[in-house]
Structure 1
Amino acid sequence: MTRRGWGGSPPASDAEARRKIVEATIRRLDRVGPARTHLTDIATDLGVTRQTVYRYYQGTDELFAAVTEQEVDTMLAQATVMITTFHDPTELVIELMAYVIEELPKAPHLTPLLVTGRSERFQRGAVAPEVLARGVAMLRDRSPIDWAAWGYDDHTLLELMEVINRVIQTMIVAPPQPEREGAELRAFLRRWFGPAVAPRRDDGA
């Protein structure tokens, strides 16, 4: 790598290189939208070769999935404050799901991917192992709930987070008509998803 590329500041690690590429992708999405966002253009924006970008991402599918991961991570970070107020796992999960279903479609870099028929990028990014792991860490470390007392270990928390994200995916990619929101959305989730969360509790019987 030469200092003429990467804006004169070459990445110190592969993780930093990936971050710079994703940031460049987001800037291009802001300017021209997904239909005109290609690896060659991103490489040009960064001042590197197309092969350099290919080293980290094999195509725009992977790049858009990485953008989705970032949007989901941002949403989870925003939800972290909210979940500290819940002491019942069912209510926490229902409110978390409703919050993301209502707010994630407003994410500035996700909406163009959904409206241009590229929802498969969102679907892959939302259940990426790294995203699920960070979601589990949020539930386990940031909420006041003793998940072990409710029968959850790291494996079952990971399964729970996967199901949460898959339900959220479906509600965002193929929303019901008319769309549910507010109390109606929460009642729907509580009725059909709530029973799957709570019964794991061990009451010492």
Structure 2
Amino acid sequence: MRTHGWGGAKPATDEEAIERILDAASQAIDERGGDMRIADVARSLGVSRQTVYNYFPGTNTLIEAAATRSSVRFLDRLAEHLAGMTDPVDALVESLAFTLEWLPDDKHVQLMLVHDFAKASTGVTSELGIRFGHGLLAGLDVDWASLGLTDADLDDLAEYTLRILQSFMIDPGRPPRTGEVLRAYLRRWVAPVLMAEIASHRV
């Protein structure tokens, strides 16, 4: 374990060091968004940039790790919020609304949804974005298989939900829809698509 610096409070293990680096990175993302730099993280921890590089080889790798950790925590909250909701339309609408209401205060998940870290470009269908979409659907108490939807169908549904999220991120509306207004809007336009897909598997 590398223990140079750390403001006089050295981590006991590499795991603790990684968590502290991710905590510092999360704070830097809150302050600077995707413009976070390794130097910002090193400075807040009282270590050299090389110490951070020993654990994370580059800025994109560190941002990706921090964003992934934040998204996992968010998906846990989402699953708890939607526990017991088995109707596919109710569950999908509420998952979208809950996510859209959470996103403005979570720069980490925003970054994960729009940035392809491997290609250093933006894109809602990045690997991390797709994983988030799958996590969102997996967190629902909906028996997709009993409705006839295959893994390939869920791939497409995950992409569809991500594109909806990205659209609202780019332009949330004037004024932005929230609460029951947002849910009614999503139900009006999302429900027919999902129900038509489910019906097509019952023919």
TM-score computed with the length of structure 1 as normaliser: 0.71
- The counterpart of 2:127, out of the listed 121, 126, 129, is 129
Segments of structure 1 that go 5 or more residues without pairing to the other structure are none
Contact 1:149 1:201 in 2 (8 A): no
Summarize the Cα distance change of 1:11–1:170 in structure 2 as closer, same or farther, 3 Å threshold: farther
For residue 21 of structure 1, what is the aligned residue in structure 2?
21
For residue 179 of structure 1, what is the aligned residue in structure 2?
176
Q: 2-side partners of 1:76 and 1:17: how far apart?
A: 24
- Give runs of aligned pairs for residues 62-73 of structure 1, distance below 5 A: 63-73=62-72
Contact 1:76 1:135 in 2 (8 A): no
Summarize the Cα distance change of 1:170–1:74 in structure 2 as closer, same or farther, 3 Å threshold: farther
Deviation at 1:71, TM superposition (A): 3.6
For residue 163 of structure 2, what is the aligned residue in structure 1?
166
Contact 1:98 1:186 in 2 (8 A): yes
Sequence identity of aligned pairs in percent? 27
Which structure's relative contact order is higher, taking Cα pairs within 8 Å and 6+ residues apart?
A: 1
Residues 113-142 of structure 1 show CA distances to partners (whole Å, capped at 9, x for unaligned) of 89xxxx7665127765356436535634x5
Summarize the Cα distance change of 1:2–1:19 in structure 2 as closer, same or farther, 3 Å threshold: closer
Q: Determine helix, strand or coil for the equivalent of 1:177.
A: coil
- Give runs of aligned pairs for residues 50-129 of structure 1, distance below 5 A: 50-54=49-53, 56-59=56-59, 63-107=62-106, 110=107, 123-124=114-115, 129=127
Contact 2:28 2:41 in 1 (8 A): yes
Deviation at 1:24, TM superposition (A): 1.3
Q: 1-side partners of 2:196 and 2:51: how far apart?
A: 50
Q: 1-side partners of 2:125 and 2:69: how far apart?
A: 12
For residue 3 of structure 1, what is the aligned residue in structure 2?
3
Q: 2-side partners of 1:46 and 1:10: how far apart?
A: 15
Count residues with an aligned counterpart: 191
Amino acid across the alignment from 1:191: R
Segments of structure 2 that go 5 or more residues without pairing to the other structure are 117-123
Amino acid across the alignment from 1:94: V
RMSD of the TM alignment (CA)?
A: 3.5
Contact 1:73 1:131 in 2 (8 A): no
Deviation at 1:97, TM superposition (A): 0.3
For residue 189 of structure 1, what is the aligned residue in structure 2?
186
Q: 2-side partners of 1:88 and 1:76: how far apart?
A: 19
Q: 2-side partners of 1:137 and 1:103: how far apart?
A: 16
Summarize the Cα distance change of 1:204–1:130 in structure 2 as closer, same or farther, 3 Å threshold: same
For residue 137 of structure 2, what is the aligned residue in structure 1?
139
TM-score computed with the length of structure 2 as normaliser: 0.71
Q: 2-side partners of 1:10 and 1:73: how far apart?
A: 25
For residue 157 of structure 1, what is the aligned residue in structure 2?
154
Contact 2:24 2:41 in 1 (8 A): yes
